[in-house]
Amino acid sequence: MHTFMAIVCFGLLIWMAFGAKTSTLIDQATKLEHENADKIEDEMDHLMDDIVRLREMNLTDAHTDFIIRTMQSCEADVLYFALGDNKLTYVGVKKLVEAIKKGKQGVRGLNLNGNPVGDVGVQYILKLFDNNIFEYLSIEDIGLTDNGVKELVDGILQSKPSSPVKMLFIGNNKRITDHSVKQLLRLVGLNQLVKIDIVGCSLSDEAKKQLEQESPIFFV
């Protein structure tokens, strides 16, 4: 009996020393794997007051004027737009982009995750690349297709040799397929571009492997 208890106690000590540590490492790794633009914004919330924070407010194109007024009320010279998980379409994006270009404020970050802006909306977003360097552009789950990826890549490459975007998030767009691999590879080697997140798209394992082998900037 004493021998059995000793074994149990020893096993418990081993788990406490190594099992708990392993669990912590796994938790940390999982946390890192789920880093995205939302986390970037949350970190920035503690550091600056130049974020237009309007996530998850059921905003539609009819609320674009409200978004613009919120933008204009900010005194900062450059802004980060947190507009994820609303219901904006390309119509609202077009109006917002026009207002930004008419104003004096620059853009350093834009999150439109979960808004059904589609490929057409991306065409308007590209107009912001003229005089802005984005810390991040997050357009996950917006209905982006392979055609939209080509337009996005073409727009980014107009700023060669540097990218107007440092971190690009286009994941969870199910209509992005293996046909986009060739386009995405055109971005390899651009100055300033450090991350392209395409997790959750409809890429085959072979396509994912190809991207990962070509460059560490791809997160698949």
Task: Determine if the pTM surpasses 0.85.
Answer: no
If one counts every other C-beta atom within 10 angstroms of the C-beta of residue 29, the result is 10
Q: For residues 104 and 204, which has the higher predicted lDDT (pLDDT)?
A: 204
Model pLDDT for residues 154-178, shown as the tens digit of each residue: 999 998 899 999 999 999 999 999 9
pLDDT band (50, 70, 90) for residue 100: very high
Query: ω into residue 161 within 30 of 0, thus cis?
Result: yes
> For the segment 118-145, what is each residue's pLDDT rounded down to a tens digit?
999 999 999 999 878 899 999 999 999 9
